[in-house]
Structure 1
Amino acid sequence: RKMSFVAGALDSIDNAERMAAFLSEAEQHNLHVPVYQGNFTEVSGYEAAKAILQSNDRPEAIFCANDQMAIGFLGAMKELGLHAPADMAIVGFDDIPLARYTQPSLSTIGASRFEWGTTAVQQLIDFLEKETPFQPRRIPTHFLLRQSSTS
């Protein structure tokens, strides 16, 4: 199977962690995954798609480091008369509200917004009351299978 990764901004911790996790998992399955540089915008996803889709060696699946880039990727596919998932499966990250309304709806990786919010508020309270420095926290994620990666 051929897959590609569309990365976000180079200076983003989120991008670094998402890319490291994806490439590590791919390596465990003996998959070589080309990385295309984006910057978390729809335009960069569109531009990455144009580069990937003009290749003679197209991947079967694309993972974008966020949903905005995946939406841009879907737009480029539509312009070229290609369809997800028939021609290529597309998955994003963040589960933004628009992801469920794209055509096709976007498969994505999401996290509990409630847990995200409560963690942020608790860290702010700890900082204000005890001057506890902010600590990075990992919020569990889950895969949302939608139309862009399954027929």
Structure 2
Amino acid sequence: MVANADDLLPNAADCRKVIAQVEADRAMQVVRAREHEEAEKHALLDRFKRPSGIDDEERLKRAAAIINRAVANGLTETQVFRFPNELCTDRGRAINNQEPGWETTLTGLPKELYEFWDKHMRSRGYRLRVEVVDFPGGIPGDIGMTLSWG
């Protein structure tokens, strides 16, 4: 006995409806993922804008651990922090142009880290390079802080 085609095969219009629904579901997943990423980014920015609550003694221990690990791996520098340009009052313009006084544009945690380096590490021969590390769409993006000793 041959099965009825109507029982086995969906009609073409039904197939198109299912495909349209699948595509709409995928598009909603992409939108939700973007919204989630944006919410995470805003939460991270908010956290970076506030004082870290870490005292200099703890920060010295963390710096020593980072430096010792890098030295053990034969490195003379390591990126210690990367942050969005929104944490600069000018969105990284002065850093990108290497203008004198660029450090005054830092806010939040980047400012804390710069001040810690200036107070505790500069006199010990450590250098801090702060530069724009990516250019999405041709404009300054994230900023990296690299500590060097070699």
Q: What TM-score, normalized to structure 2?
A: 0.27
Q: What TM-score, normalized to structure 1?
A: 0.26
Structure with bigger helix share is 2
Greater Cα radius of gyration, structure 1 or 2: 2
